[in-house]
Amino acid sequence: MNYLITIIGPTAIGKTALSIALAQHFGCDIISCDSRQFFKEMKIGTAVPSDEELAAAQHHFIQNKSIFESYSVGDFEQEALAKLDELFQKNNIQIMVGGSGLYVEAVLKGFDDFPDIDNSVRDEINAKFDSLGIEYLQQQLQELDSEYYQKLQSENPQTLQNPQRMKRFVEVCIGSRKPYSSFIGKRKNVINFTPIIIGLEADREIMYNRINQRVDIMLNEGLLAEAQALYPNKHLNALQTVGYRELFDYFDGKTTLDFAIEQIKMNTRRFAKRQITWFKRTENVSWFDYLTNRKEIITIIESQIQKL
């Protein structure tokens, strides 16, 4: 039987360090499931593991794409499952780690099969969003898929404020001429592994302090210069993310640098809250304080494998 040890939790909680310790113990590889770390041009602002960390265990899906490529959660699902099939032939235990809940769920449960959308539709939606803001996306979704809009409004209202997700909903509606909700629940994966899900958590104040410290480290490592180099491409989907958007506003003269830095910290904290909300809905998770001794976590994982 194959086992996929999946490590989840909010940003800056210590998932990378734990995944490397587990990979070394079990002698296996690591599938990265962080949608911001796929892109090779975005290293500092996405907290890509250090060269030493990458050398400590074999990683997959880190900086393997370009911001100029179109890459969806469905693409990742197919590539990750294919890679796991290959890895399980060498070792029946493998590790997946990351804070992108939708991407984790795509591998563990299967992602709904959405149609390919023409780039011209995506470009037009991006242009209108740039000029009209999030209200344009909300209005479009309400008109094109009122059922899904109302579902989000009642069950997950913060998603209505998420430009990336909202753009995706609207582009599917316009590009397919069908409601986004009509594609949900149509397909699930047949997986050849048993998931063992490990969650890391910390008190909110500790988590927020770790986030603030990480942002300071990123700035010391050259985040400002990295964002400046990416600034000419700020319209690309991959760059509509925390840590870059705020600095682009600074480069545009809309804010001061100090304000932009505080916004990065605040928006990263908000992102962590959304991650926690998502992952707390995940079933069959063994939750651990982020300081839990790794030997204890390994012992519990091994006992779970023996029971399965």
Q: 185 labelled as ligand-binding?
A: no
* Alpha carbon distances (Å) from 280 to 17, 270, 300: 21, 15, 20
Residue given tokens 């690309």 in the structure block: 236
**Phi and psi angles of residue 289, each rounded to the nearest 5 degrees, phi first:** -65, 145
**Phi and psi angles of residue 29, each rounded to the nearest 5 degrees, phi first:** -100, 175
Q: 9 labelled as ligand-binding?
A: yes
Q: 82 labelled as ligand-binding?
A: no
Residue 237's closest CA among 156, 180, 171, 174?
Answer: 171
Q: 10 labelled as ligand-binding?
A: yes
Sheet of 285-289: strands edge to edge?
59-60, 30-32, 93-97, 3-8, 194-201, 285-289
Q: 14 labelled as ligand-binding?
A: yes
Q: 11 labelled as ligand-binding?
A: yes
Contacts 24+ apart (CB under 8 A), 72-75: 72/114, 73/35, 73/102, 73/103, 73/106, 73/111, 74/106, 74/111, 74/113, 74/114
Q: How far is Cα 241 from Cα 181, in angstroms, rounded to an integer?
A: 25
Please give the annotated binding residues, written as ranges: 9-16
Please give the annotated binding residues for ATP, written as ranges: 9-16
Please give the annotated binding residues for substrate, written as ranges: 11-16
